[in-house]
Structure 1
Amino acid sequence: MTRPGHRAPDGYDQAAFPPFAVTVDVVILTMRDGRLHVLLVRRDADPYAGAWALPGGFKRPDETLDEAARRELREETGVVAPKHLAQFGAYGDPDRDPRTNVVTVAYLAVTPEVGEIHADTDASEARLWPVADAVRGLTLAFDHRRILSDAVDRAADQLEQTDLATAFVGDTFALSELQNVYQELWRADIDSANFRRSLTTPPQNPAAFAAPEPENYVEPTGRRAKAGRKGGRPPELFRAGPAWQTQPPVRRPRRPPRDD
């Protein structure tokens, strides 16, 4: 059904305005071996043939931006978009793409496991890269280094404001896994004892005191992780508790970040 007033004005000349294209780019972050990683593809065609880039591409006229982001991620890498997929920025410098004037809408995606990765369409290779290596050591296509850096900064900020940290771990996790998320995104060393205390202490606010039972950030599952190759007692496994909806448990260290 046509919405009232949803039509071009009489005499509207589309050619009177300069054309531009719209693309989507997806920054998908995950933790692997205790380090923050990003999924990148190697471009198979010009511009920037052979360079690494964020998964993405042109939005089709008949799809929404969210649909385009999910499609491009799946087509280029074989990865199904995770639950946490959200816009975080738009980039429209007139010279950012040598083909034409292109505005890209950037998405941040977070997942504990990306699943099976395989390159397709206009990507010759797809793989996870440590974020630190990608930002400092790779020649990324277009303005993707800036977009990647902005995405990491956004994720780091959201650790203090939302429950984003829990999106990096599975349904059950060791506290050390969650601690690694904070340390990697904030590039800071966090004391393990203080971190554990922050997560096992209910939030100190009136809403929490009004609850019948204290709400916890983490709840023990009564199980332990599988024994590692180095031996020792396997770590206890937890699941996320309801207190994340009240306020995040950990404050960002107000000291210079580590240089790594």
Structure 2
Amino acid sequence: MVRDQLYTTTSQLEWAIQRIKYQSGATNTGNALQFALENGFQGARGGTVPRVVIVITDGQSQDNVAEPAQRLRDAHVMIYAIGVTNLVNVHQLHQMTGNPLRVFTVESFDELDQSLAESLTWDMCKTEFRPGTPDIICAPDRIGVRASTKKPFDGYVFVMDHFHEEECRAGPEKFPDPKSIGITVPFNNCNVHRYRSLNPRGIFVEMTVVFMFHSLFMTKVDQTVKIQCFYMEAEKSVTVPLEYDYNTIPPKNV
């Protein structure tokens, strides 16, 4: 949404953004946030589509940003703040987002590149792609994890520090269902860690698995899961029948 016109395609939105005129004068980010609240989401789709405001600034606002930012967050709008150059007021960035994980700083406008855009996109939409509570697989000779996602997952699941070993990762080509993902690894592969426990008696087997959401590079929203299985040592009592041959005992002297 730019001004009072509704845009329904990416190309229309890009066209409109390119035609926004720069307004000179003081920096009033608080007023901009209030304007976004009142005008930016009229006619917006509901459901699971995230409502997002991204603030890019290279300075300091002359008005209050905390109150309009809070009103946006109360309306379930996520705010991301990107500070450009070392002249920004980082405290104001935190006031706007209410979450330090949604604050980014770069040295120059040249760093507002595709990599940063991808990272922001994944963070905004991660609820659609991130797996829910995973199921741990504790098999007799292997350990693993299984999870499901709302949307098709096109990244990789791999054992931490072993991405380049084929047997230690699973990608889209190995998932029969792109919404059901996971990996299992034999005990003797991928540096799976095993150690003995005396109380209770048994063996712990563990590894750390990474859910990498993008197929080409790591992002800040990638999820790691530590998997641990315990194999209790069975208590066995062994019974051996004993035979005694009396004929082999020498007679006592009387």
Q: TM-score range by the shorter chain?
A: under 0.3
So what's the TM-score if we normalise by structure 2? 0.25
So what's the TM-score if we normalise by structure 1? 0.25
Q: Taking CA–CA contacts closer than 8 Å with sequence separation of 6 or more, which of the two structures ends up with the larger relative contact order?
A: 1
Q: Please say which structure displays the higher CA radius of gyration.
A: 2
